[in-house]
Amino acid sequence: MEIPAVRHPVMYQQWRRLTFLHWRYPAELVQAGLPAGLTVETMDGTAWVGLIPFLMVGVRAPGVPEVPWLSRFPETNVRTYVRGTLAYRSRRRWPGPVGAYCDADVEVGGPMPTGPLDEFLTARFRLYSRFAGRLVTAEAGHPPWPLHRGRVTALDQNLVQAAGLPAPTEEPLVHTTPGVSVRIGRWHVAGT
């Protein structure tokens, strides 16, 4: 996949200590949960759903310094793959409702060479979200992930189910990475 240059970023971020946990799902099941106009991408006829916990740091707009209590926070995304990444985001604020959770222990292994499936699951450079009831998209420019092997030693989560899918029944495919610096492009309505 071609890495976007993002010549005029509207935001800088650093995505650190990422873990990619991926499971296979029937494509028709994943497609049923996508917004109109998006088509699930598959690898060998299978859709993939990822649970990606990470630490976001250095979040700031161009020309603006980091704000300590706004520029560093953990985030977990449940995502699947279209012609980019459709992120299902769940924001929980204290003392707000409790219910969706993810507790994962992962052993980080050594660097790994990447193959077609690894690139399919991780080399994504477009974000999708909802804003004011509309599907919006932006480019996320960053260098290729320095991927490492990983192994789940404990996992207790219900975020995949909170995104409308059945609980995974198999062990996940695991990738880890120390992270990358990211330049986020301008958000615009998808398809424009």
Q: Which of 76, 51, 38 is nearest to 173 (CA)?
A: 51
The partner residues of 55 in beta bridges, in order of sequence, read 16, 74
Kindly state the tokens that stand for 101: 């959770």
For residue 132, what are the contacts with CB-CB under 8 A and spacing of at least 6? none
* Chain centre to alpha carbon of residue 90: 12
Question: What confidence score (pLDDT) does residue 104 get?
Answer: 93
Q: Exposed (0-12), middle (13-18) or buried (19+): which is 150, by Cβ within 10 Å?
A: buried
Q: Hunting for tokens 């690898």 — which residue is that?
A: 43
Q: What is the pLDDT of residues 6-56, one digit of tens each?
A: 989 999 999 999 999 999 999 999 999 988 778 899 998 999 999 999 999
Whole-structure pTM value: 0.86
Peptide bond into 172 cis (omega under 30): no
Question: What confidence score (pLDDT) does residue 83 get?
Answer: 66
Q: CA torsion 159→15→113→47, rounded to 10°?
A: 30
Question: What confidence score (pLDDT) does residue 9 get?
Answer: 96
Instruction: Identify the segments of the chain with pLDDT beneath 70.
Output: 1-2, 83-98, 192
Write down the mean pLDDT value for the chain.
88
Provide the CB-side half-sphere exposure for 184 (13 A, CA).
17
